[in-house]
Structures are given as structure tokens and as C-alpha cells.
A and B are shown apart, each in its own frame.
Chain A
């Protein structure tokens, strides 16, 4: 174990290094490049002895090669971002449909056009129905830890689905943070050697990905159940993780929720800013808390309901936009609360598109507006954060 200052990209590379994948197909895209450059350098320096590092000609081919290698029974890691993830879109469904436990880091970046290099969450939220398990990290330590946990979930026989570990571009990918690098011994204890459930060997011919008829529904139902299983599996994994590494994660991150009347629902790196703002608002007597979505798929609806049982008003802060509809996570939260005994008021705020910074002042402004909404009994959907910046 050692404590070092590294970027989110390097944290993802460290996660991959520690699990010793057999194959890493790559294609560069800003802001993911540093992750694969780090792996390429480690490869030539002899730090990745059992790993094949390959350059592909597109992200589509990255995921295609990942599928080929995972289908024969190899452990695979890769990383991408934004347009690259969109180019993979077709094959993401194939990876999950074939039930291949690939783990991929996605360094989120807004989608063209117009071009932006900065982060928002449209790239990976566009993949939310692809059958992948989707995590979203708040900081660089969590990036590394999510990759370790990701392999455990992906390779669990009750799950066998690919896992995407998302982090915000630039804010995490290019920012140094102190990160604890676990030892290989601890990682081996957490995650024994890969024993693939499905392989292709010379003496055992198998067919992968054939056409089916009515069975299609059964395959999709099984993949859905497997994704739901991940919620249970994840709980056990988090217990193991805490025992070995001493850090505890929960399926959703709850911050000062016990007595909170106003709740902000956030994702990713802006949660750290929001938590700092909440600490200050608490000093002023505002009963505000935060719920951070860190597992997007499978959707932890029941856990979210339980965490929000005392909330009176909720602000869903979406760093994404579904034009013609609004924020993507807002309806997911509203649907979840529809089945809850507690039906708080829910307002939606669309913020931070294309990396527009979210300051503590902005978070306080949203909280004030949420308090107004609660007082007036009228929820709002605010999509233009220019007016308060």
C-alpha cells in the first residue's frame, strides 16, 4: 500500500494494473489519453508482465476486440470517452448480451456538436439501457476502487455483465488527488485469480452470439435479472472491500440525510463541491443533505426510497440534457418516489453542460430555490444555469 498524488486517468490505469488483465485494446481520445499512455508506458517498462497492450484503429474495434478476447475467457480492460463511447454503442449491447465481464473506464465528456472537450454526463447516460452495469465516481480514489469492485461484480457467476466505471473528464481525469494504491497481495485477497465461466478451448466447441427465435425474450430477461443480482452481490463485495482495504462504500452515497428536509441529488465530482456547500449551509441552520448516485445501473430504487424517506423537497441536479424532455435522471427519481410512502416535492436543475463549473455559490442558489419551491408547493424545472452564474 502506498499513498501517492495521481490523476483520475492514472487512478483508472492503477485499477487495471492491479487486477492484471490479459488484454487491453486501446484507442486514444481526449480526455482519456493519459490513462492508456500510462498503461503503454508500464507495459514497456515491464510493469504489466501478463498483459497484452494493443492499439486498435477505432473505439468500435476496441470493444470488438474486447469482446473477442473476453469470449475466449481472457480478462479485459479498456478506457474511452465521449464520441468514442458513442462509436462503441452498437457493440456495448453485444458485450452485455454475450454476458462478458469486461471492465471499461469512461472519462465523461460532452457530445458534439458543437465540440466540447469538457465533462458532462450525456455520453454514458446514453448507454444506460445497454445492459452494462454503470458506476460513477466522485473522486480519484473511488475511480481506482470502483475498478477493483467492478471486476468482482462483473465476474460474479450470478452477474456476468460488463461494467463501466465513469469519471468526470478534466475535473478528475487531469487533476491530481491523493490516492491510496493497494498492494497486489491485498488485491489478490479481495479478488482471486480469474476463473472464467465461459471459455473457448480446442476440445470444447461453443457457439457465441447466434441468431435466436422466441428465446430472445428469455435472454433479455436473464440479463435483466443478472443486473438486478448485482445489487445483492455489490453489498457483499463492499463488505469484503471494507475488511481488506478499510474503506467503506455504499450503493448510494448519503450525506447528512437523517434530518434533511431539502435534499440535493447529484452525480460525480460536483458532489464534493455540493457537500462543502452543505456544510456551510448547515452552519446557517439550513436542513439540507445530499444523495449521490454512484450506481446508475442496476438502479437501486429501493435504497434511494429508503434514503429519501424524510425528505420534503428534492432537487435533482442533472449534468446532462435530453432535448425536448429535460434532465435524464429527474424522471428516474420521480418514478422511484412514485412507489414510496413519502412523496416529496421534486424540482429539476440542468447544470454544468460542457464542463461549466458548478460552484458552491451555485449549489447554495439551487438550495434556496428548492426552499422557495417547497414553500410555494410548486416544483420547477430549470435548465439555464446562466442566470445565476
Chain B
């Protein structure tokens, strides 16, 4: 493999790896009920017309649920993809580049979802 001969340096200090480990488990636990609620919300809203979808997604409880889901989900998926990148990209430069892209993707998806939820709930 590419790692033979040269040691694959960790992309982050060990302390932050422990923090990532803990965060991954904490968000995993939070995402169990959140994912089940998401499935229920999607089932309830599948095939509904625009007004109905907007009405229910604009409900404060649903909006708060979506914020929690997106918050936990974005952290969980960012750490998960970081683990995959750390495992499969031995080249330091490429790894840092993909890790950066990983951050950018997570932030973009998170902000996109939160913007939509805010716009639906508050209506600006």
C-alpha cells in the first residue's frame, strides 16, 4: 500500500481525535430518535401539496426538530467522513485538501438546510 515505508501522520492532534470520538457517539445517540422522527415526518408529508408541506414544516415544533436534526447530522457526517478520509488518503496534501472539502460540504449543507427551515418557519 501507499503507506509502506512512510508513516501516515495523523491529520490532527490526539486530543481532538478523542473529542471527535466522543462527539461521534453523542451525535449518534441523538440521531437515533431524530432519524426516526425524520422518517415519520417524510412519510407524513410524502406526496402532499405545497401548502400542506409548508404549513407542517413551518410548525415551530417541526422547525426546532429540523434544527436539531441538521445540527447533529452535520457534525456526525463530518466526523464520519473524516474517519474515512483518514483511512483511505495516505498522501498528506491530498488528505488535508479532502478534509477541507469535507468541512466545506458539511457547512454548506448545514447552512442550506437551516436557511430553508428559517425561511419556512419565519417567512422572510
Instruction: Say whether A and B bind each other.
Output: no
Show the binding face of B for A, using Cβ within 8 Å: none
